A = this chain, B = another copy of it.
């Protein structure tokens, strides 16, 4: 491994000049810049990130905090997409990522967590799947000691950005399309878990639609559970004209119940997960591109690390018609 010194010697300049070129500083003549770059190429030189971190006291380290407590297949799918999106972007931005799980922070105080991050030279944290009951994380955010990006939780301050699609609008749109295309005056809405931030936002969307379209609206908590959705559909499904679900998983549960009851009701979902083991069903759903969301989250982290202020980032979504497929084609 050649070092900056070798490059300097080969280019016939001082170490500091090389450093400047490497980091894109001004005040280097075009000529020497080119000479340095050439030497870099010839030696196949890559700066040692460890030395650079130590010297500059900027490691560019960001932790991805994944909520793995709710063990469900869809969540796994979503988390994997989150991971690959963030990591891919991080490689491009030369940020240093480490993956952590909520479970590792269990039973630790906000202070201990801070110490841990600090000792690991972690400067930023992207939080996925945070719930309203996660007080420790909320405190961490409140402390403003780290740059933080929260996915799907509307928390913003000077050092914290939030990133998500417009859940209210998306829920409104997908439900509207389903209702209008099929007709119907009464809606059964199966909502998400009470502690989820998005649950309330999506709820607002369906309520707006109900108001606008003068629909009668029955709301039941499905907790993002396929099973619960199924049970609730058995109980209330036949009384409704349309069933709107706050997640694809619940939509599957609802559809299965309807099949077993041998009645038809239009159903719509939310998330646009790609993998489902149920054939022959169709519905509208909100397609969230989790990979892209996570890339954007990493972008936003880059901005924060460079001194940008926290802000709210809203990404777009799509309403798509989804066809269930076999798990592996």
Contacts and interface: CB of A to CB of B under 8 A. Distances in A.
A274 B327 contact: no
A273 to B, nearest CB: 9
A79 interface: yes
A263 interface: no
A235 to B, nearest CB: 16
Contact of A327 (B73, B84, B328): B73
A99 interface: yes
Given A77-B73, A96-B98, A99-B87, A121 B328 contact: no
B50 A121 contact: yes
A227 interface: yes
Contacts of A180: none
Interface residues of A, number: 58
A190 interface: no
Given A50-B50, A98-B98, A226 B73 contact: no
A252 interface: yes
A228 to B, nearest CB: 8
A64 to B, nearest CB: 9
A46 B119 CA distance: 6
Given A121-B48, A327-B226, A87 B72 contact: no
Interface string A50-63: 11011000010000
Contacts of A115: 44, 46
A246 to B, nearest CB: 13
Given A328-B225, A328-B226, A275 B53 contact: no
B103 A84 contact: yes
A168 to B, nearest CB: 24
11 contacts: A46-B115, A48-B119, A50-B54, A72-B327, A72-B328, A73-B74, A80-B80, A97-B99, A98-B98, A99-B99, A249-B327
Interface of A: 1, 44, 46-51, 53-54, 59, 68, 70-74, 76-77, 79-80, 83-84, 87-88, 91, 96-101, 103-104, 115, 118-121, 223-228, 230, 249, 252-253, 274-278, 326-329
